[in-house]
Structure 1
């Protein structure tokens, strides 16, 4: 029997709080899970800094990757006896599902923005480079690793395969919504996945949904909408992300200006220099980042020390609503007053914006164009979801954006009450002297 078709002597299972069990029968999948590159995902949190808002959100990219694999395994099981499904693509789908998040770094998107990285680029490098993952994939058949990379990159020729991993109703979203809801303790992310899996149908270039399952899809779309605004864009989580980002910026600034760290930040040097190779990237996980943050609480640089103490001990920044289109003059005046007060506004006066487009119909030629969710009608014709659902139509193509202004309450409190700068700052922030109007720091 070829390695491609080799099955384990006995099925392996992972106990999972969302799917009950994750089933593994293929030797290839079992071997991929055992690689150092995949095991590294245990040390990358799925939700970044959200654990500082929702204390249960300690789950990892490893958990999520297994979950996406399991959903795709179940979808394929439902497709096996249907027309238009090529079962030769089965193992490719399973591998792509398992490995789709392989390139995420510590704290994922926040880390990427500071050091100008792209986790999708590193996912490709891990799959195609000199790694155990690559060598296992190449044992399946020549250039199999390239096929897996192309599916994840959304360039693979069979768009039906791509749609299982990346579309507006894919296994990735179906897992992270439920998993993140479970570990944060909220109810928003729950929907009837069993029903959706039963009504999924393969056609030439995508998965479609039987029209009888429309209401389950409506629930899924609304769950996603609510999770983004109640969990992913929670203002307290964003406060932690602001501090995290400023720590990384400050450390890079100090390195570039020949600051002498008490312990040379060896793991960060290639990131500071924007010359990161795959080996450097794989060595840096969240355990290493926490190690440096712990050490940097003892640094001589006041800003780096303070920011690390805030992050490690959850002394987060407060926030108020802010409209950058209407309040930029106020922000510029606050910037000046913070400088006068001896509080560096580059690190302690931050506007953070979040936006989301929960569902969109097809807009060919536009940036980040999205293929729609299509319903399979009783007459076998396809109908785009928002044209049949009043609920989905009401939010289709509508991007919602939220802006917050973050600042250090405790630093303002340390200014004496007769300090004219303090009074001006509080007036511009529209706060009382006690700051009783500032944003809450708990859910």
Structure 2
């Protein structure tokens, strides 16, 4: 019964969707929790007990799966969340690699020792932020954390759904994995080129190129594990995807992968900003068509 702790129907997922929906003030994460819990059951397979759902709970399970999909698409992948996360990661990278801040190096460069674990557990978001702002305010990392605290966030200056035939397939594959270690130099060169655009004109470390994916609602329901099983009225079992009319017709391979660029953009009138973003988009598309450099 490990699926109660980790699986497509685990307790954490049932909890965080409703909790995040409430505290974010949105309706996307709502579903009939009580109905879903009341129709949960179990079955034995190869000596192990596994979670399943009674056929009467099919609609509540559809609600749950759709809630997870819409919360991911509308909240967890919201541009402000993505930009904030990217700025935090970039600040920590700069603090470790360029500023050589010792406490960050000790905290984020993993070592298999008791001392490392004790030090890691002694820190949290607040302690790291306060220390950077008080003791390292003039560092690259401190500057970005200061911007975050003032809500002076970078702007999304480019968003592109990968998979278009206008880009070379090999380049597309590289862009999909832009954050992997083997693509770091390529990503930095791309950021350096974009930083030179007249509409941006900033230091390359303040240009962030990243990609992210949104799985299909069917794949998200599986949670990269075995399909959820449904106990039919005659006692036999079938997968949720086969029993649900809504999910049966969905192509599980239809994942969305986006390439985005975040950078500082001066506060200008809405119309002028839209014009700037249009120029930046055209310039980045031209850059990518040339191979990204």
Q: Same fold (TM over 0.5)?
A: yes
Between the aligned partners of 2:213 and 2:97, the Cα distance in structure 1 is 26
CA shift for structure 1 position 357: 4.3
**Cα distance between partner residues in 2 of 1:296 and 1:324:** 41
Mark the runs of 5 or more structure 2 residues left unpaired by the alignment.
Answer: 173-186, 284-293
Task: Give secondary structure in 2 for the equivalent of 1:209.
Answer: strand
Partner of 1:241: 85
Structure 2 counterpart of 1:172, from 1, 7, 12: 12
Q: State whether residues 65 and 220 of structure 2, in contact with CA within 8 Å, keep that contact through their aligned partners in structure 1.
A: no
Pick the aligned partner of 1:316 from 153, 172, 182: 153
Structure 1 residues 132-167: Cα deviation after superposition (integer angstroms, max 9, x where no partner): xxxxxxxxxxxxxxxxxxxxxxxxxxxxx2011112
- Write the distance in 2 (CA, Å) between the matches of 1:171 and 1:337: 44
Label 1:340 to 1:182 Cα distance change in 2 as closer, same or farther (>3 A).
Answer: closer
Q: 2:106 — aligned with what?
A: 270
CA RMSD of aligned residues (A): 3.3
Q: Which of 261, 281, 285 does residue 429 from structure 1 map onto?
A: 281
Partner of 2:68: 224
Shift of 1:392: 1.8
How far apart, CA to CA, are the structure 1 residues paired with 2:108 and 2:56? 53
Residues 133 and 142 of structure 2 are in contact (CA less than 8 Å); yes or no, is this contact kept in structure 1?
no
- Compute the TM-score of the two structures, normalised by the length of structure 1: 0.50
| Whole-angstrom CA distance in 2 between matches of 1:167 and 1:424 | 45
Match of 2:259 in 1: 403
Q: CA deviation at 1:426?
A: 6.6
Report deviation, 1:356: 2.6
* 2:144 pairs with one of 298, 301, 307: 307
Contact 1:318 1:407 in 2 (8 A): yes
Match runs of 1:60-75 below 5 Å: none
**Counterparts of 2:26 and 2:276 in 1: how far apart (Å)?**
39
Q: Looking at both structures, which has the greater relative contact order when contacts are Cα pairs under 8 Å and sequence separation is at least 6?
A: 2
Alignment pair present for 1:281 and 2:124: no
Tell me the residue number matched to 1:254.
98
Provide the secondary structure at the position in 1 that maps to 2:218.
Answer: coil
Size of the aligned set, in residue pairs, is 247
Counterpart for residue 238 of structure 2: 383
Displacement of 1:340 in angstroms is 7.8
Secondary structure of 2:9's aligned partner = coil
In structure 2, the residue matched to 1:350 is 209
Gaps of 5+ in 1: 1-160, 418-422, 432-443
The CA distance in 2 between the partners of 1:388 and 1:402, in whole Å, is 31
